[in-house]
């Protein structure tokens, strides 16, 4: 059965919201004419060559120069700007969001829009300034219409982000939202299963997952859990003797 696009858009909006808590699920038999979901399957992608090329970079400046030349990082939004990351390049705490939005694309910096304002408040509440930490995203370019990053976009961007993490070498990583967490932990778990604890990551980092600030703006009921998560994170930061 074919449904009008308006209904499908509403259903997608609702499902995205539910996915924030319960993880990904599908509705069989639902058809639409939206191309976004039609190519939402990862290609078989061999990242060996790109990983080999990334090996030779030791600084964020070198990595950024390389990112500027790489079409692999681009979404299908033309004329978008690279949003590499911002903050202290030697930070012990690195935050990883999903993808730049309109404001981030315009200003070339992650989390400067509405979500960013809430993120600043959360950071302040646990005694961090933005300059103390480093913030990046899974994608370095804005996806069109603020849609979720597609699986193949996440896959192509991941080696660049892993290199960025390696250069910054934080002790702690905080994933903001399901997409960030599922991409880095390489799973399809729900937020409920991933948040609130530390996951070992890349053999040397501790990774915590919490709700994306946009999810907190949509559903204030998540704030209690997010508050517990960031307090735990701050405690671990201090225990490990981390410094800005
Ligand atoms: N949401 C994200 O995930 N990242 C940004 O940079 C802004 C909004």
Cβ pair 222, 215 in contact under 8 A: yes
What is the best residue among 100, 122, 174 to mutate for testing ligand 1's pocket, by most ligand atoms within 8 Å of CB? 100
Which one, of 241, 240, 172, 163, lies nearest residue 200 by Cα? Answer: 172
Q: Is 100 in the pocket of ligand 1 (CB under 6 A)?
A: yes
Q: Is 183 in the pocket of ligand 1 (CB under 6 A)?
A: no
- H/E stretch holding 96 reads strand 93-97
Which one, of 230, 244, 175, lies nearest residue 205 by Cα? Answer: 175
The mean per-residue pLDDT over the stretch 90-110 comes to: 97
The DSSP string of 123-184 is HHHTT--GGGSEEEES-SSPPGGGPPPPHHHHHHHHHHHHHHHHHH--SEEEEESHHHHHHH
Q: Is 105 in the pocket of ligand 1 (CB under 6 A)?
A: no
Condensed to tens digits (0 to 9), the pLDDT of residues 44-86 reads 678 889 999 999 999 999 999 999 999 999 999 988 999 999 9
Cβ burial, residue 64 (10 Å; 0-12/13-18/19+)? middle
As given in the structure block, the two tokens for residue 187 are: 């799973």
Q: Is 180 in the pocket of ligand 1 (CB under 6 A)?
A: no
Condensed to tens digits (0 to 9), the pLDDT of residues 165-183 reads 999 999 999 999 999 999 9
- What average pLDDT does the chain have? 89
12-16: long-range contacts, CB 8 A cutoff, minimum separation 24: 12/37, 16/148
pTM listed for this prediction: 0.85
pLDDT(186) > 70? yes
Ligand 1 centroid, distance to 6 Cα (angstroms): 26
Half-sphere exposure of 94 (CA within 13 A, CB side): 25
Which atom in ligand 1 lies closest to the alpha carbon of residue 109?
6
Ligand 1 centroid, distance to 153 Cα (angstroms): 15
pLDDT(196) > 50? yes
- Determine the pLDDT at residue 6: 64
pLDDT(31) > 60? no
Q: Is 137 in the pocket of ligand 1 (CB under 6 A)?
A: yes
Ligand 1 centroid, distance to 2 Cα (angstroms): 33
Backbone angles phi, psi at 221, to 5 degrees: -60, -25
Q: Is 97 in the pocket of ligand 1 (CB under 6 A)?
A: yes
Q: Is 226 in the pocket of ligand 1 (CB under 6 A)?
A: no
Is pLDDT larger for residue 29 or for residue 203?
A: 203
Backbone angles phi, psi at 4, to 5 degrees: -60, 150
Q: Is 101 in the pocket of ligand 1 (CB under 6 A)?
A: yes
Q: Is 210 helix (H, G, I), strand (E, B) or coil?
A: strand
Which atom in ligand 1 lies closest to the alpha carbon of residue 115?
8
Question: What confidence category does residue 146 fall into, taking pLDDT thresholds of 50, 70 and 90?
Answer: confident
Which one, of 7, 128, 141, lies nearest residue 83 by Cα? Answer: 141
């Amino acid at each position: 059965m074919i449904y009008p696009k308006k209904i499908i858009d509403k259903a997608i909006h609702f499902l995205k919201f539910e996915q924030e808590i319960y993880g990904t699920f599908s509705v069989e038999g639902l058809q639409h004419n939206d191309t976004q979901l039609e190519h939402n399957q990862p290609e078989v992608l061999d990242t060996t060559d790109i990983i080999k090329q990334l090996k030779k970079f030791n600084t964020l400046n070198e990595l950024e120069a390389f990112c500027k030349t790489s079409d692999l990082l681009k979404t299908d939004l033309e004329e978008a700007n690279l949003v590499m990351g911002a903050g202290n390049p030697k930070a012990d705490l690195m935050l990883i969001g999903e993808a730049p939005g309109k404001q981030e694309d315009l200003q070339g910096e992650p989390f400067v829009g509405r979500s960013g304002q809430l993120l600043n408040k959360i950071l302040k509440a646990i005694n961090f300034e933005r300059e103390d930490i480093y913030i990046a995203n899974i994608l370095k370019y804005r996806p069109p219409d603020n849609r979720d990053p597609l699986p193949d976009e996440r896959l192509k961007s991941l080696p660049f982000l892993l290199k960025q993490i390696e250069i910054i070498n934080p002790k702690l990583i905080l994933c903001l939202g399901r997409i960030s967490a599922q991409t880095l932990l390489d799973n399809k778990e729900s937020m409920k299963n991933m948040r609130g604890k530390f996951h070992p990551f890349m053999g040397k980092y501790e990774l915590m997952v919490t709700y994306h600030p946009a999810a907190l703006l949509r559903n204030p009921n998540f704030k209690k859990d997010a508050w517990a998560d960031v307090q735990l994170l701050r405690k671990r930061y201090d225990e490990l003797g981390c410094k800005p």
